[in-house]
Amino acid sequence: MTVHNSSLHRFAVFTVLATLGLVGMGGLVTSHGVGMAVPDWPTSYGYNMFALPISTWLTGGIFHEHTHRLWASEVGILTIVLNCWLFGKKSRRVLIALGIVLLLSGIAGINRPNGLQSSLHIGIHGVIVLIATFFWPRCEPASRQLRVLGGWATVVVLLQGLLGGLRVVLDSQLVADVRLGTVFGIVHGCLAQGFLVLLAVISLMTSRWWQFSGRAGSPLPADGAHGVTRSTSLRRWFLFTTLLIFVQLLIAATMRHQHAGLAIADFPLAYGEIWPDMSAEAVASYNLRRVEVTTSNPITAFQIGLQMTHRIVAFLILLAVWLCAWKARTIQSIKTLAFVWLGLIFIQVGLGAWTIWSNKAADVATAHVVVGALSLVTGALGCLISFKRKTVSASASVVDFSETKMADRVSV
Amino acid sequence: MKLNQTLAALAGFAVALQLASAGNLTGKVTLGGNAPAEKEITPLKDDATCGKLLGGAVPKTKFFVVGANKELADVIVIVKGLEGKSTGAAAAPAALDQKACEYIPQILAVQTGQKISVKNSDPVMHNVHTVPTAAGNKEENKGQGPGAPDLTFSIPAAENFLKFKCDVHPWMFAWVTAVDHPYFAVTGKDGAFTIKDVPPGKYKVVALHRKGAPTGVEKEIEVKADGATADFVIEVK
């Protein structure tokens, strides 16, 4: 019997929302160009990250960068808690070990120079973890699939933290004339959205809707022969379009981390043309005429080409999502999601244009990042649902729905 | 001992002779064409702390500082062919200030090895982040709180427009050019410049403007005992 844990599902959704907020905060850091406003890591201006004086924290770009760090720490903790919850009562032993290690590390660090504050933080966290193990988690472990996903989420969130730190610490190092800060920034930005997708998948798979789909009375019905036939091609389109959005994300992250402002300052034309002149003379002339306030790097022909590619891929995504929505219009289980997806893409195109018309205003550019992340998540969930439909359609089993209702109980 | 004294006297005589025959290079730089309109630095105005430091008017970008008759300020004029004669180590430190959340001056020229003293006159935290591109110059990023002692930087290798920026306030930039000898000048608001005591000879002179002529406009000149003049026009097309 499948046991649905609604508290776990709600917590997973909360973690997704916190991560979406974190993506937005990271977007603000890049949009404002303040990734190096706190030049050290894991400390902040020499302080323990959690003990930076508020007066310093609230200063200019430090606010965005430091808030991003703190928020990321919280998302890290939420992810570890989610992972433990997925492993259920089995994870208690690991948690006890973790609590003891943290407590001992805190005690061991007290005598280090300037180590009192950090040691107190670590030690207190150890005590909290140990106390928590007395009453949590009590539930049975989730399915193997979910535990594997939870494990990956923990690995990715730790890797993300490390990448964010290396982006600061190794910012000025060059490899093949490319700044490592730029490379780590791009990877950090893309992995963040991959992590968001991973958490969204966990949320979907912990939902009652997902766990009882395909059973009698479930909200994921078979759609008949016509629907199944159509959904075979729909699955492919969902997958293709989601991959296209991921490619778009790579292009966008590369554009944003050049820190050169807008490579093309007009839209829908580009320097007054359908395709801009990208010769060396033309680029020199564009640079001479640009008046940027918060960016200083000159633009290059590569960056202009990148923005033109971004525009073309955006158009292709719009067409592809439109097609997905059209194909999904009669498939009950996925049509709402497909039309929400289409709506998001329309908003995203509008935000892209507004980003240019506003000369890349930080809040508009960041909204463009957040809606882009939501579009990727929606596509990924659509893929998952459409592929699940295949399994469901093939082996729809009849289960008394009263059983599922009984199983739908709160368990922590 | 006697030989050393003789050699020193000869060297001194040679320097004195060179100075006696050296001339000043003077000139003026003007702008050709029309500069793009400068923009208000709205993030400065909107910043909770920095906005309060403004006297009223919102400062604008200073890409082209142009006089009434198109005189162009902030152009760096450098005599070429005298490399390797830096006296930067013995020169007085150059000063860069952070005031009302802007760098003052925003265009500066120094000799290689010359100390650059960076002051924080604001009641707010800044970070001084240098971003060099020439080999031999090291990137640095140092926080400087209100009232903190001046930070000292030095640029070992020649480089045009080395960026000094503040990541806390991302509109703050200064551009420092390091020259491997003392024969350079920065134009004032009247577009004029004077490079003193240039040894006599034929040279190429380059005028660099960060936006209008980042790779420079060159002229050939001959410096005699009575000096030389060179005027430049930086074209904006």
- Taking only the tens place, the pLDDT of each residue in B160-204 is 999 999 999 999 999 999 999 999 999 999 999 999 999 999 999
A59 close contact with B: CB closer than 8 A: yes
Residues A65, A205: one domain?
Answer: yes
Chain B residues closer than 8 Å to A58 by CB: 48
A385 close contact with B: CB closer than 8 A: no
Does residue B187 sit in helix, strand or coil?
coil
Considering A189, A211, A233, which residue would you say is the last residue of a domain?
A211
User: Taking the domains of chain B in order of start, what are their residue ranges?
Assistant: 23-82+183-237, 92-168
Range of the domain at A367: 219-288+295-400
Considering A169, A190, A211, which residue would you say is the last residue of a domain?
A211
**Per-residue pLDDT tens for A166-225?**
999 999 998 888 899 999 999 999 999 999 999 999 999 999 989 887 665 555 554 544
Is A162 a domain residue? yes
Total residues belonging to chain A: 412
**Distance from C-alpha of A238 to C-alpha of A111, rounded to nearest angstrom:** 57
**Distance from C-alpha of A346 to C-alpha of A383, rounded to nearest angstrom:** 20
DSSP H helical ranges for A88-143 = 92-109, 116-132
> Rounded mean pLDDT of A348-368?
97
> Lowest mean pLDDT: which of A16-20, A239-243, A290-294, A367-371?
A290-294
CA distances from A214 to A8, A395, A404 (A): 22, 8, 12
Q: Do A37 and B165 touch (CB under 8 A)?
A: no
Chain B residues closer than 8 Å to A33 by CB: 167, 170
Residues A156, A107: one domain?
Answer: yes
- Model confidence at B126: pLDDT above 90: yes
Query: Which residue type, as a one-letter code, is found at position B206?
Result: V
A37 close contact with B: CB closer than 8 A: yes
> Lowest mean pLDDT: which of A86-90, A397-401, B141-145?
A397-401
pTM of the model: 0.88
Residues A199, A133: one domain?
Answer: yes
Give the closest-approach CA distance of A263 to chain B in angstroms. Answer: 16
| Residue A227 φ/ψ region, left for φ over 0, alpha for ψ in the -120 to 50 degree band, beta for the rest | alpha
> Measuring CA to CA, which residue among B174, B177, B176, B178 is closest to residue B166?
B174
Q: Residue A353 class from Cβ within 10 Å (0-12 exposed, 13-18 middle, 19+ buried)?
A: middle
**Distance from C-alpha of A209 to C-alpha of A329, rounded to nearest angstrom:** 20
Q: Do A33 and B167 touch (CB under 8 A)?
A: yes
Superfamily holding B23-82+183-237: Carboxypeptidase-like, regulatory domain (2.60.40.1120)
A34 close contact with B: CB closer than 8 A: yes
Measured over the CA atoms of residue A21, residue A53, residue A110 and residue A46, the dihedral's sign is: positive
Q: pLDDT band for A279, please (50, 70, 90 cuts).
A: very high
Give the closest-approach CA distance of A59 to chain B in angstroms. Answer: 7
Cis peptide before A137 (omega within 30 of 0): yes
- Model confidence at A125: pLDDT above 50: yes
Q: According to the model, what pLDDT value does residue B137 have?
A: 96
Is A266 a domain residue? yes
Give the closest-approach CA distance of A76 to chain B in angstroms. Answer: 26
Task: Please tell me which residue of chain A has the smallest CA distance to B144.
Answer: A45
Q: With respect to CATH, is domain B92-168 assigned 3.40.50.11540?
A: no
Whether the Cβ atoms of residue A10 and residue A17 lie closer than 8 Å to each other: no
Q: Do A288 and B236 touch (CB under 8 A)?
A: yes
* Averaged pLDDT score across all residues of chain A: 89
Of A62, A288, A291, the CB nearest to B212: A288
Residues 6 or more apart whose Cβ sits within 8 Å of residue A171: A35, A36, A179, A180, A181, B139, B141
Is A239 a domain residue? yes
Residues 6 or more apart whose Cβ sits within 8 Å of residue B48: A58
> Rounded mean pLDDT of B99-104?
97
Residues A328, A207: one domain?
Answer: no
Q: Do B47 and A60 touch (CB under 8 A)?
A: yes
> Rounded mean pLDDT of A264-268?
96
> Measuring CA to CA, which residue among A272, A362, A342, A355 is closest to residue A310?
A355
